[in-house]
Amino acid sequence: MSQSTLRKQKSWPVSWAILWTVGKVEFICQSNPGKNTARPSALGKVRFLRTQTSELLSGLNEAFSENYILNQLDDDLIRPWSKAEEAPKSNSEHTQELKDTLAEVRKSIEELYKRLDQGHPASTGDEFSAISRKAAESAGALAPPSAGSHPLVHTWQNSRNEWQRLVASYAYRRCLNSRFILHASGETLCEIKASVSPSCLVPNEVIACYRVNQKMVAHLTANEFLADEVDDVDEYEEYEDGEAIEAMLSF
């Protein structure tokens, strides 16, 4: 497999890459029709597929190694903290106030992270201890600065959401791959990522599947939905967009 082909495949979804490999078998079988070349047997196709698939997966593993993915910081999630760190370089009148605020965030997260390590060492198992949970809750409850005139400090004082984004961004940067950030700032990190991701329209057919008929729920709760009522057409007519739901289930 050429390097240019492998580079192209790195940008493909895995399913497309596998389909490309399978299609290559048929291409080879149908090439050079003018020559007296015997078509490969089914066993030959399987062997060829196995070789090509192994080579393809090796290339994908090399391009997207597990260690690289686990240790790769998400640019969107560290952006709130990175922007705050860049702000003091503008030589603002109140730069020291901003530096002090960022230093306090670093100190607080460091202390809470150490408390988590003491309460839940990595070698003790999967249980998230009460001490670790309390440390995570404390990180999520860190208060914004009470005083300061820097524009960013003023923003954090008046916007709890922006302050939580700053704390979550640093916690993610400092404690990557730790459950600490999931318990302390997981929801905020999701909000940060969602805010920079393109919107996705939900088809009406999908929305229809989430609708719940209250009358039917009452029947089920009261155990009044009897087996002999299953064939009752009126019961099925109570569902909103029932045809859409059946269409979704038919895929």
pLDDT in tens, 144-158: 988 888 889 999 999
Instruction: Tell me which residue of 77, 76, 87, 104 sits closest to 168, measured CA to CA.
Output: 77
Measured distance CA(97)–CA(103) in Å, rounded: 10
Where residue 95 falls (left for φ over 0; alpha for ψ -120 to 50; beta otherwise) is: alpha
pLDDT at 79: 94
Number of domains in the chain: 3
Query: What's the predicted TM-score (pTM) here?
Result: 0.53
- At 31 the pLDDT is 45
Residue 180 sits in the same domain as residue 99: yes
Is 100 in contact with 126 (CB distance < 8 Å)? Answer: no
128 and 218 in a single domain? The answer is no
Neighbour-count burial for 24-41, b at 16+ CB within 10 Å, e otherwise:
ebeeeeeeeeeeeeeeee
All residue ranges of the chain with pLDDT < 70 are 1-41, 64-69, 91-92, 117-129, 132, 202, 205-251
Residues 58 and 124 in one domain: no
Q: Are residues 192 and 87 in the same domain?
A: yes
Q: In this structure, are 66 and 85 located in the same domain? A: no
pLDDT value at residue 14:
46
Residue with tokens 């493909």: 12
Residue 182 and residue 103 share a domain: yes
Residue pLDDT, tens place only, 157-216: 999 999 999 999 999 998 887 777 877 888 899 999 988 877 777 677 666 666 666 666
The pLDDT of residue 159: 92
Q: Distance of CA 114 to CAs 107, 136, 138, 144, Å?
A: 11, 11, 13, 21
Residue 8 to residue 21: CA distance in whole angstroms = 13
> CB–CB of 156/176 below 8 Å?
no
Residues 178 and 110 placed together within one structural domain of the fold: yes
From 39, 70, 101, give the residue that closes a domain: 70
What residues make up the domain containing 89? 75-196
